[in-house]
Structure 1
Amino acid sequence: MKKHLLVSLTLAATGLLGGCVTSTVDEMVFNTPTLENMEDASVVILGRRHASDYETEPDFIKCVGDHVRRGNGSVEIIGELEFMNALYPWFEPRTAPLRPADIDRLLLQPPVADKLAELKTEYMIWIDGSTVQTNASGSMSCGVGPGGAGCFGFGTWGNDSDYEATIWDFTDKAEVGRVSTSTSGQSYMPAVVVPIPIIAPVKGTACDSLGDQLLQFLSSGY
């Protein structure tokens, strides 16, 4: 039985040594996991890199995988590089499947079908997106004088993170859910003699937000 669920959540956070961060998460689930025990299956999280103007950062993909792994040790996460090496060249940017319907094409290749069976791959999660810097402003000057070296000024810049995770079920050969997060934050660099960066953890917040939603999805099969 199909289940449609749409959740939207907005969070704002500030830290003593961190800038302000705002995060919005949207979740749409078509089918929750039906496996009685996720210990009998594995999950791979991959980054989309077929666009010409950006790539989904490998460190972000690793961050999300680590977040899910820490949250539920029973969910086996296959590392992105390990998976791509094991199935080279089928998941390189030029050859990677773009739609769930492409799964059938992949499974017609005996080496691919055998390796996926060996890895017990049940869910494949594609993450598409990036973090970019925006609206930098301010100025800072540094120099050396009789009293020593120092800097004076003030700078500020923003960062926006936008990521979407698409969940594929390899057994049903279908898309079963999507999760997206939009996170923005403002960082500051005041300097009176010594520059003091006040960094907004934008990418880290996006990783935690996306990881929490994927963890909730994968853990619902228990």
Structure 2
Amino acid sequence: MPLVIAALALLQGCVTARVDELVYNEPEAGVGNASVVILGRRHAADYETEPDFIECLGDYITDRDPGVRVIGELDFINALYPWFEPRTAPLHPQDIDRLLQQQVVAQRMRELNTGYMIWIDGNTVSSDAGGSMACAVGPGIGGCFGFGTWSNDAEYEATIWDLTGQSEVGRVNTTATGQSYMPAVIVPIPIIAPVQGTACDSLGAQLLQFLSGNY
């Protein structure tokens, strides 16, 4: 058993991550009493930013600084329906002024007390699959034999809007790569590289610094 565990640990390999940040005007004392909303960009036709990644970022921030109030993505979208649906959501911070001319939008934004909006653009994909696997079923016996491997790549960019000043105040980009495996001796055992979780931790740490005023 120890040999099996060691072999699986080796197969997990490592996930590498990189973060690039560009902050123009960070809040010196954090966001204070204002709330923050993190939204996924889903206006592209070929992919969408995963809702579970957005939830992961919100949990990362609030778990480490309960003083930062993060509004749930679905709660925010429902409260401001239909102005933040994929086809109608603002693409530029200056578009917020146009939205606030709608009385119902202005009222709900005041109720939510949203000071910063963070747009997340990107996703996690799998590629470069290799290896082979064969499965068979016979009288009294069956199973799979072989070995498969594939790459997992994550790339996300966070764009931070200051809603009071109606301006973009920073961007953070993170990439993470890893290798996943699936050995099979009777039963396939997927060994998934935690690429998306690593990207969430890397991006969440940078956003937390910004929102907490720790730059």
Say whether the fold is shared (TM-score over 0.5): yes
Cα distance in 2 for residues equivalent to 1:27 and 1:37 = 17
Alignment of 1:29-108 (within 5 A): 29-34=23-28, 36=29, 38-108=31-101
Specify the SS of the correspondent of 1:66. Answer: helix
Moved over 4 A (4+): none
8 Å contact from structure 1 (residues 19, 188) kept in 2: no
Secondary structure of 1:40's match?
coil
Instruction: Write the distance in 2 (CA, Å) between the matches of 1:145 and 1:38.
Output: 64
Within the candidate set 15, 20, 44, 1:26 is matched to 20
Give the Cα separation in 2 of the matches to 1:55 and 1:83: 18
Instruction: Tell whether the 8 Å contact from 1:131 to 1:161 is kept in structure 2 after alignment.
Output: yes
Counterpart residue number, 2:187: 194
User: Could you tell me which residue of structure 2 aligns to residue 177 of structure 1?
Assistant: 170
Deviations 1:93-132 (A, max 9, x none): 1111101111111111111111111111000000000111
Structure 2: runs of 5 or more not aligned = 1-8
Structure with a larger share of its residues in strand: 1
Structure 2 residue 134 is the aligned partner of structure 1 residue 130: no
Q: What TM-score does the superposition give when structure 2 sets the normalisation length?
A: 0.91
Change (3 A) 1:160 1:29: same
State the Cα distance separating 1:194 from its structure 2 match.
2.6
Aligned to 1:9: none
CA distance in 1: counterparts of 2:17 and 2:88, whole angstroms: 33
Counterpart check, 1:205 vs 2:198: yes
Partner of 2:3: none
Aligned-partner Cα distance in 1 for 2:197–2:168? 26
Structure richer in helix, relative to its length: 2
- Tell me the distance in 2 between the aligned counterparts of 1:23 and 1:96: 30
Question: In structure 2, what is the Cα distance between the partners aligned to 1:27 and 1:92?
Answer: 27
Q: How does 1:138-149 map to 2 (within 5 A)?
A: 138-145=131-138, 148-149=141-142
> For 2:210, which of 208, 212, 217 is the aligned residue?
217
Identify which range, 189-198 or 165-174, moves more after superposition. Answer: 189-198
Give the whole-Å Cα distance in 2 for the aligned partners of 1:94 and 1:147.
Answer: 55
The count of residues paired between Structure 1 and Structure 2 equals 208
Look up the match of 2:108: 115
